[in-house]
Structure 1
Amino acid sequence: MILCCGEALIDMIPTATTQGQTAFVPHSGGSVFNTAIALGRLNVPTGFLSGVSTDTFGQQLCADLAASNVSSEHLIRSDKLTTLAIVHLKDGSATYSFYDDNSAGRMISPKELPQLSSDVQALYFGGISLAAEPAADTYASLLAREGQNRLVMLDPNIRPDFIKEEARYRDRLTAMFKHTDIVKTSDEDLDWLIPDQPDLDTQVAALLSKGPKVVIVTKGAEGATAFTRHGNTSVPAPSVDVCDTVGAGDTFNAGFLAGLADLGCLTPDEDKLTSLDCLVPALTFGAAVAAHTVSRAGANPPWRHEMS
């Protein structure tokens, strides 16, 4: 099983009404939630660990996990409210306003974390859950406790407007990178994470020095590149008509992890993980999954049968 650990929330998506006004329709979302849904739809054994409310929106989140074959056995339930993200779309790109204070997802603590069985082969972290305290520290403690002997992938998915304590956030990510095998970033993420280096190559080298074995940099329509201590390899992005980019990076991550799972490469063993036999097919599958997602509205990742 791949256990996705992080935020689940409700995206309020702007939709035109028949009267020509804009209404907001609730869709289940969250960066880590989207990755879990995509993995489940790709027929990869997947679980989700997060704080999820017992309110109506929390029930919606649980129903959508089940509908996409994602296990809910690791959820931490409470009667606190569900996080809301108001989505603003401009030219197909999304920005967000978050309503997250005292939410079910934000307020989980280390003492509430479940013990993980040996069935959990890989851990995935990312999104705003790594910036929002106290949950952010809870996820960091989970990684420190359970990351050994499991493959760990992390996508910081930096949202500067959401970060309240920048120094603490940077320190937390640095500590988590030490226990992480794969870090996925965009070039914008790298500019924020490593601002004092002049170009992408030196930025990636600085990030690799913090602990990861692989750093993946995605560039939208330009494809993705995986960097290791031995070199780099790139794959192009399929050419598609883009509807919007909501969930594109999240579903790339799912496709990449699913590709590793298909190849028997869900392992922290550096020689195997960094081999071209693992990286190239997994990158290619990740790009293909993301291309399906951007070709239709919202974070609506493809099912396995759509990838044939």
Structure 2
Amino acid sequence: MILCCGEALIDMIPERLADGRTGFVPHAGGAIFNTTIALGRLGVNAGMLTGLSTDLFGQQLLTELQASNVDTSTIVRSERNTTLAFVHLSDGQATYDFLDENSAGRMLLPENIPEISADVSAIYFGGISLACEPCADTYADLLLRKAPDCAIMLDPNIRPAFIQDEARYRARMATIIAECDIVKVSDDDLGWMTGDTGGGLRDQADQMLAQGVSLVIVTQGAKGATAFHVEGFEVSVPAAPVRAVDTVGAGDTFNAGLMAQLTNGGDLTKAGIRDLTPDKVRAALEFGAKVAAVTVSRAGANPPWAAELSDT
């Protein structure tokens, strides 16, 4: 099983009302939630560990996880509110305003973490859940405990405006990255994390590989994605051609496609990631791009089911 650890929240998506005003419609979302949903729909054995509210939004999130065949046995319920992310779209690109104080997800503590099944062989972390305390420290502690036994993938999905203590965040991320097998970042994220915003991707990725990562994947939106492996090779693939509606959940779905392909090939293990060949990396990137293209082609974070991909 792949266990996805991090935020599940409600994206408040703007829609034009009949009278011309803009209203907001609640859609289940969150970076880690989106990836988990996509894995379940692709037929991968996936579970989610997060804090969910017992309010109506929390129930909406739980229902959608279960409808997408996700294992919810490690969900931690509480009466705290659900995090809300108000989405603003400009030319299809999304920015967010968050209401997250004292939320069910943010207030997850180490003592709340349930026992992790021995069936879990890979764990996925990232998103705002690694920026907001106390849950950020809770997930970091879990990652460090499970890294010796499980393949670890990270997508920090950095939102600088959301980071209250940059020095503390950078220190946490440096500790985490040293234990990761795969790190996927956007080109903007990579520049921010390395502090090398004017350098080339190769130099920036090498900095991360030197910290102990086996595979660094850099996405560049419509330009596609490039992977850099610890053995020195790099592989690039173009973005799948698509008529974009919006980019909400695109990167999250890409991550699911990548992990699904590696899982199906028996390569989503610590040793398997270290021993990847260029052909296997290319196949994983291409499948991630294919899955993400479907999400981009429709409104909101709505990942495809496996059956939909047979027609694309």
- TM normalised by structure 1 equals 0.98
Change (3 A) 1:304 1:224: same
Q: Show the counterpart of 1:105.
A: 105
Q: Show the counterpart of 2:268.
A: 266
Shift of 1:213: 0.4
Q: Show the counterpart of 1:13.
A: 13
Q: Show the counterpart of 1:250.
A: 252
Shift of 1:211: 1.6
Shift of 1:277: 3.8
Does the Cα contact within 8 Å between 1:55 and 1:81 map onto a contact in 2? yes
2:59 aligned with 1:68: no
Shift of 1:191: 1.3
- Name the aligned partner's letter for residue 184 of structure 1: K
Q: Per the alignment, in what secondary structure is the counterpart of residue 297 of structure 1? A: coil
Q: Deviations over 1:271-303 (max 9, x none)?
A: 654322421111110010011110111101110
Runs of at least 4 residues off by over 6 Å: none
- Name the aligned partner's letter for residue 117 of structure 1: S
Larger deviation, residues 130-139 vs 224-233:
224-233
- Name the aligned partner's letter for residue 232 of structure 1: E
Q: Deviations over 1:26-77 (max 9, x none)?
A: 0010000000000000000010000111111101100000111111100111
In the aligned structure 1, how far is the partner of 2:4 from the partner of 2:304?
Answer: 18
Q: Deviations over 1:226-251 (max 9, x none)?
A: 10122201111111111110000000
Shift of 1:266: 1.2
- Name the aligned partner's letter for residue 142 of structure 1: L
Q: Show the counterpart of 1:296.
A: 298
Q: Which runs of 5+ in 1 are unaligned?
A: none
In the aligned structure 2, how far is the partner of 1:175 from the partner of 1:215?
Answer: 16
In the aligned structure 2, how far is the partner of 1:196 from the partner of 1:42?
Answer: 36
Change (3 A) 1:116 1:295: same
Larger deviation, residues 221-230 vs 274-283:
274-283
Shift of 1:149: 2.2
In the aligned structure 2, how far is the partner of 1:68 from the partner of 1:19?
Answer: 35
Mapping of residues 1-308 of structure 1, within 5 Å? 1-196=1-196, 198-229=199-230, 230-269=232-271, 273-308=275-310
Larger deviation, residues 152-161 vs 229-238:
229-238
Superposed CA RMSD in Å reads: 1.1
Q: Per the alignment, in what secondary structure is the counterpart of residue 108 of structure 1? A: coil
Q: Percent identity?
A: 58
Does the Cα contact within 8 Å between 1:213 and 1:270 map onto a contact in 2? no
Q: Per the alignment, in what secondary structure is the counterpart of residue 210 of structure 1? A: coil
Does the Cα contact within 8 Å between 2:182 and 2:214 map onto a contact in 1? yes
Q: Per the alignment, in what secondary structure is the counterpart of residue 255 of structure 1? A: helix
In the aligned structure 2, how far is the partner of 1:235 from the partner of 1:39?
Answer: 21
In the aligned structure 2, how far is the partner of 1:199 from the partner of 1:288?
Answer: 26
In the aligned structure 2, how far is the partner of 1:231 from the partner of 1:270?
Answer: 16
- Name the aligned partner's letter for residue 138 of structure 2: T
Does the Cα contact within 8 Å between 1:116 and 1:146 map onto a contact in 2? no
Does the Cα contact within 8 Å between 2:266 and 2:272 map onto a contact in 1? no
In the aligned structure 2, how far is the partner of 1:265 from the partner of 1:271?
Answer: 6
Larger deviation, residues 110-119 vs 189-198:
189-198
Q: Which runs of 5+ in 2 are unaligned?
A: none
Larger deviation, residues 196-205 vs 290-299:
196-205
- Name the aligned partner's letter for residue 144 of structure 2: A
Does the Cα contact within 8 Å between 1:16 and 1:22 map onto a contact in 2? yes
